[in-house]
Amino acid sequence: MFRNLGEMLVLFGAVARALPRLWRERWKVSEQLFDIGNASLFMACVLSLFIGGVLSLQSGPVLVENGIGTALGQLVAIAMCKELAPVMMSILIAGRVGSAMTAELGSMRVYQEIDALRTLAIHPIHYLVLPRVVAIGVAVPCLVVFSNLVGWLGGAIVAAHNDRIAVPWATFFMGLRQGVDLSDVVNGLIKSFFFAICIGVICCHQGLTTRGGPRGIGRSVTKAVVNSLVVILILDYVLTRLLLPFDSAFGH
């Protein structure tokens, strides 16, 4: 485990050192971004709509019964942008995109494509890992913004149309505007960026260290997704704790 962790840190360091080459690899980054968007946008939309809806459905009746139904918009919005959107989008990306990355790199490793790159003096970190990690680091925060908007919409739809809640659209969004400021959204974006980098590094590392043919590829994919999920949830607590003082600074 510690060896893996060390290797991942080394890989992260190599990616960080390769960042000056980013402009050169911009087309590969854009290809990756396109693939990530293609693979995840629809799922992100469905997931976020229902998460927002369930949040409203669970908390709406309680708030309305206690006479604070106007706070529903704020509650849904804060929960979405600070916690649910970053975590759920990261889990989605780990499952859908990270697994595919591991499988692709693992297959390249098993079938000697990575060795072939090295013999052509093409550095696998520059050619394969840098574009993937950067693309995932850009895509996840963008997906989180999208997820926030769709989740808020889902929450508002349920709030307006559920008989036990019946909080009008205007009231929901007024509560949302009054209760949420930019720092809350940025808080979620910071978290999602760190999650994304971890997913990228973990999945690329698993791919690059794949051994043992098609079975090995399967093992690597499973390991990459499970490790990513564990790291996301642990890091979520750590980052939330670290970002708490900044919440207070903004008056929460």
Partner 1 sequence: MTAPSSNHGLPVSVRGLRKAFDGRVVLHPLDLDIEAGEIFVIMGPSGSGKSVFLRHLIGLEEPDAGEIRVAGEKLVPDAADPRHRLAMVFQSGGLLNSLTVEENVGLYLTEHRLKPPAEIAAIVSKTLGLVQLGPADAAKYPDELSGGMRKRAAIARALVVEPELVLFDEPTSELDPLVALTIGREIVNLNRRTGATVVVVTHDRDLAFGIADRLAFLAEGKILALGTAAELRASPVPLLQQFLAAEFK
* CB-CB contact of 56 with 155 (8 Å): yes
Q: What's the closest the beta carbon of residue 18 comes to partner 1, in angstroms?
A: 12
Residue type, 29: V
State which residue, 109 or 191, has the beta carbon closest to partner 1. 109
Q: What's the closest the beta carbon of residue 103 comes to partner 1, in angstroms?
A: 12
Q: What's the closest the beta carbon of residue 19 comes to partner 1, in angstroms?
A: 17
State which residue, 177 or 211, has the beta carbon closest to partner 1. 211
* CB-CB contact of 199 with 228 (8 Å): yes
Compute the distance between CA of residue 175 and CA of residue 69 in angstroms, rounded to an integer: 9
Q: What's the closest the beta carbon of residue 173 comes to partner 1, in angstroms?
A: 45
State which residue, 105 or 229, has the beta carbon closest to partner 1. 105
* CB-CB contact of 96 with 195 (8 Å): no
Q: What's the closest the beta carbon of residue 35 comes to partner 1, in angstroms?
A: 11
- Alpha helices for 180-212 (secondary structure H): 182-208
Q: What's the closest the beta carbon of residue 125 comes to partner 1, in angstroms?
A: 8
Residues 78 to 137 in contact with partner 1, rule: CB under 8 A = 104, 107-108, 111-113, 115-124, 127
Q: DSSP assignment, residue 66?
A: T
Is residue 41 involved in binding partner 1 (CB under 8 A)? no
Is residue 1 involved in binding partner 1 (CB under 8 A)? no
Question: By rule CB under 8 A, what count of residues binds partner 1?
Answer: 17
State which residue, 50 or 127, has the beta carbon closest to partner 1. 127
Q: What's the closest the beta carbon of residue 126 comes to partner 1, in angstroms?
A: 9
State which residue, 120 or 182, has the beta carbon closest to partner 1. 120
Q: Which of 87, 94, 59 is nearest to 73 (CA)?
A: 59
State which residue, 35 or 247, has the beta carbon closest to partner 1. 35
Residue type, 71: A
* CB-CB contact of 211 with 223 (8 Å): no
Phi-psi region of 49 (alpha: psi -120 to 50; beta: other; left: phi over 0): alpha
- Alpha helices for the chain (secondary structure H): 2-18, 26-65, 72-79, 85-93, 99-110, 113-119, 124, 130-161, 169-179, 182-208, 213-249
Is residue 35 involved in binding partner 1 (CB under 8 A)? no
State which residue, 113 or 247, has the beta carbon closest to partner 1. 113
Question: What residues make contact with partner 1 under the rule CB under 8 A?
Answer: 104, 107-108, 111-113, 115-124, 127
